[in-house]
Amino acid sequence: MTTPPATMSLDALVRLQKTARAAEGAVSADVRRDRLQRVIDLVVKHRDRLCAAIGGDFGNRPRSFSLMYDLTGSIAALKHARKNVAGWMKPERRRGYFPFNVLGARAFVEHCPKGVVGIMGTWNFPVYTLLAPLAYVFAAGNRAVLKPSELTPRTADLVADAVSEFFRPEELAVVNGGPEVGQAFSGQPFDHLVLTGGTHVGRAVMRNAAENLVPLTLELGGKAPVVVGRSADLEIAAERIVLAKTTNSGQLCVNADVLYVPQENLEAMLAAMRRHFDRFYPGSYAENPDWVSIISERHCQRVDDYVNEAQGLGARVETLGGTYHGPHGTRLPLRLVISPARECRIMQNEIFGPALIVLPYETIGEVIADINSRERPLALYYFGHDAREERQLLDHTISGGVTINDVAMHPGLHDAPFGGIGASGMGHYGGREGFLEFSHARTIFRAGWWDPRRALGLLPPISRKMESLAERGVSR
């Protein structure tokens, strides 16, 4: 394969792909499967280098973790799309309308490629957030330009080299750079644009994309609530909440941000969480080899400041992971912030790190009211076996997706859509819905063997017969 010329501008690269797409015509299932397979081959060939690059960008991230979440997760999405693409592509017959449909007329919907899709990944899963959406972009027959995060430069450079090895730039290309490149990227006249990132960045990207009326898929975040009901098994809930919250040191867009616990179960819950944390990560957060570092000093300081501010304003803080002596490089322990003041920044902003708000409650009604006082989250979690309470929570809140009696499991469903709503995002990828997201649903009406409009009096000049038929249509 060939790399894009060093002098090729982003504008020229997008034009190159658009020109190639226009000349291509129909994109067969075989072509789509071939592109998907080449992405799989790319990941398999460079798996060791990719894991090393991600580990280098984080400072400490176990190879097995990157293999499981970034690489295996990407390949699973690509394989799911490869397996199902031919079925997804089939035109859909529609019923049409009487009497045309009994006189030979036919209606159907084709799902056509949109064209060229821009994909802006993020740093917390720097391979997955590029390649998982790409699976559905390629399945829909599109071409794509990737923009990795500048916070993971080793990974970004390696992805660019690997893509150029397996793809021509008119099929798939990578552009790297800092915020100024991201600004230019989101201002391109793509046929669709995907962003995984924070809500603040999402708003900026949306403003840029609006200049060219580019449709968007925004995977953002928010303060995902976990509600532990009185019917929950506290040991199971504590284990699964800790397991999720320590994944990637909490740097996960669907991770728990606010934990609601019945007032009378607060101390038992905190003790159970400590036990499970110590079992998962024995010793000190500063030394445990499985504990993932925060991506940068700035993000590490941000999370630390959130907790320190809350503690200074009277919140109780429980530290899991040994005695807290401040950041160790870019490592922080998991800290539970109990009942912080409402004005604290940790109560206002997504944490995206190893800290968790814990709010004791008396009634499920006050929990629902508190959840609804914030922006709609990307995920919602409930632990319990009270079907009525579960339904009350689901019916009176709105979120991107839900996991019941676990945390962060629903995004792994490759045959179901993943996405947010409101401040947590728009659109989705995953499953057939991901294919539809990056396709244009084009309705086609094929006229039949006889046109009944003259016989029905529906052609000019307007007659009483036409008015009578129209009157009949205005009915209950």
Please name the residues in contact with 53: beta carbons below 8 A apart, sequence gap of 6 or more. 152, 154, 155, 157, 158
pLDDT for position 445: 94
3-class secondary structure, 110:
strand
Does residue 122 contact residue 94 with C-beta atoms inside 8 Å? no
* pLDDT on residue 3: 47
65, 409 Cβ separation under 8 angstroms: no
**98: exposed, middle or buried (Cβ count in 10 Å: 0-12, 13-18, 19+):** exposed
CB atoms within 10 A of CB 41: 13
Q: What is the DSSP letter of 72?
A: I
Question: Which residues lie below 8 Å from residue 381, measured CB to CB, with a gap of 6+?
Answer: 224, 225, 226, 227, 256, 402, 403, 404, 406, 407
Closest among 115, 113, 114, 95 to 105, alpha carbons compared: 95
List, by residue number, the catalytic residues: 219, 253
* 224-415 shares the fold of 10-220+427-440: no
pLDDT per residue rounded down to tens, the chain (476 residues): 444 545 578 999 999 999 999 999 999 999 999 999 999 999 999 999 999 999 999 999 999 999 999 999 999 999 999 999 999 999 999 998 888 888 999 999 999 999 999 999 999 999 999 999 999 999 999 999 999 999 999 999 999 999 999 999 999 999 999 999 999 999 999 999 999 999 999 999 999 999 999 999 999 989 999 999 999 999 999 999 999 999 999 999 999 999 999 999 999 999 999 999 999 999 888 889 999 999 999 999 999 999 999 999 999 999 998 888 888 889 999 999 999 999 999 999 999 999 999 999 999 999 999 999 999 999 999 999 999 999 999 999 999 999 999 999 999 898 999 999 999 999 999 999 999 999 999 999 999 999 988 888 888 887 777 788 788 878 87
- pTM, two decimals, is 0.94
User: Can you tell me which residue has the tokens 């991901």?
Assistant: 434
Bridge partners of residue 361, in order along the sequence: 262
Report the relative pairing of strands 143-147 and 116-120 from DSSP bridges: parallel
The domain ranges of the chain are: 10-220+427-440, 224-415
By the 8 A CB rule, do 70 and 408 touch?
no
Helix (H, G, I), strand (E, B) or coil at 60: coil
pLDDT score for 244: 95
pLDDT of residue 6: 54
Q: Which helix (H) or strand (E) holds 439?
A: strand 439-446
What architecture (CATH level 2) is domain 10-220+427-440? 3-Layer(aba) Sandwich (3.40)
pLDDT recorded at residue 7? 56
43-73 burial, b if ≥16 CB within 10 A, otherwise e? beebbeebbbbbbebbbbbeeebbbebbbeb
CA distances from 179 to 120, 127, 194 (A): 12, 19, 16
Nearby residues of 2 by Cβ (< 8 Å), 6 or more positions away:
164, 168, 169
CA 450 to chain centre: 49
Q: Which two tokens stand for residue 317?
A: 């803080």
Residue 158 host element (H or E): helix 153-166
Q: Is the Cβ–Cβ distance between 250 and 285 less than 8 Å?
A: no
Are 84 and 432 in contact by the 8 Å Cβ rule? The answer is yes
Tokens standing for residue 315:
């919140």
Whole-number pLDDT of residue 324: 87
User: Among 25, 128, 40, 21, which residue's Cα sits nearest to residue 80?
Assistant: 40
**Does domain 224-415 correspond to CATH entry 3.40.309.10?**
yes
Token duo for residue 201: 């960045």
CB atoms within 10 A of CB 455: 11
C-alpha to C-alpha distance for 57 and 55, rounded to whole angstroms: 5
- C-alpha 160/C-alpha 147 separation (Å) is 9
Would you give the distance in Å from CA 50 to the centre of its chain? 21
